[in-house]
Structure 1
Amino acid sequence: MAGSSPLKSAALLEQMKLHLSSDAGKELIKKIGLVYQFNISPKKIGIDEEIYVVDLKKGELSKGPYDGKPDVTFSFKDTDFLAVATGKMNPQIAFMRGAMKIKGSLSAAQKFTPDIFPKPSKL
């Protein structure tokens, strides 16, 4: 999956798959229990986007639109998604700047924090 994607975010999302099967991932599923869809574009929101679903009900990550209605859909540029996911950009600031667009439940969106992502592994 990550090999065929031009997105830098794809590698982080691959790590997320492994993270969900860990103990920390299982805690997230208990704590959050929501379905997030991420529409991530290389350069401009809405153009050539790749869609990923992080299902924190089932503990799964998949590529392609969610079959049903996700609790929240986020749209990002690749670099902005990475900045938010790694804690370099505050999600509220990203939203106010238009770097992140949200469709769906705002209360569910507020549970989206960098804490749900695995920390980049330091070698």
Structure 2
Amino acid sequence: MSVNVPGFKSSAVFEQIEKALQSETVKKDTINKTKGVFELNIKNAEGKEQIWALDLKKEGTIKTGKAAKADCTIRMDDAVFIEIASGKLNAQKAFMTGKMKITGNIMLSTKLNNVLVLAQPSKAKL
């Protein structure tokens, strides 16, 4: 099942992460650095919401839809996610200014950058 959802710019980021996780070396390294399950709830410009689940505790997988048991749930707009993924916006600043909402293990959310770096092909190589 594809992680690409029409109408969401975030889809491209999730596709890059999925592609990077196909490498066993990258997958193991990411799981070791992260050790958690993220559920990202993204709202696009039309107000539609989409959920992506990243299991970086055991599986090293990404899918659309809710996680069976998320350790950390993050909510934000599509545009904010793109800014964070591209490095234009600091995730902590987005949280502090209310652009990003976090429930569950807030400390785990700081490890999201380890995952987002996989979407930047030049940095994903090990």
Task: Please give the alpha-carbon distance, in whole angstroms, between the structure 2 residues aligned to 1:60 and 1:32.
Answer: 13
What is residue 10 of structure 1 aligned with on the other side? 11
What is residue 34 of structure 2 aligned with on the other side? 32
- Equivalences, count: 118
How far did residue 30 of structure 1 move?
1.5
What is residue 80 of structure 1 aligned with on the other side? 80
Task: Report the identity percentage.
Answer: 33
Unaligned runs of 5+ in 2: none
Residue 73 of structure 2 aligns with an amino acid whose one-letter code is T
TM-score with structure 1 setting the length: 0.85
Task: Please give the alpha-carbon distance, in whole angstroms, between the structure 2 residues aligned to 1:63 and 1:90.
Answer: 25
What is residue 71 of structure 1 aligned with on the other side? 71
Unaligned runs of 5+ in 1: none
What is residue 112 of structure 2 aligned with on the other side? 112
User: Is the CA contact (8 Å cut-off) linking 2:18 and 2:62 kept in structure 1?
Assistant: yes
> RMSD of the TM alignment (CA)?
1.9
CA change 1:12–1:6 in 2 (3 A) is same
Residue 93 of structure 2 aligns with an amino acid whose one-letter code is I
How far did residue 78 of structure 1 move?
0.4
User: Is the CA contact (8 Å cut-off) linking 2:3 and 2:62 kept in structure 1?
Assistant: no
Residue 16 of structure 1: SS of its match in structure 2?
A: helix
What is residue 60 of structure 2 aligned with on the other side? 59
Following TM superposition, where does structure 1 have runs of at least 4 consecutive aligned residues deviating by more than 3 angstroms?
Answer: 1-4, 119-122
Residue 67 of structure 2: SS of its match in structure 1?
A: coil
Residue 120 of structure 1 aligns with an amino acid whose one-letter code is Q
How far did residue 20 of structure 1 move?
1.3
CA change 1:15–1:119 in 2 (3 A) is closer
TM-score with structure 2 setting the length: 0.83
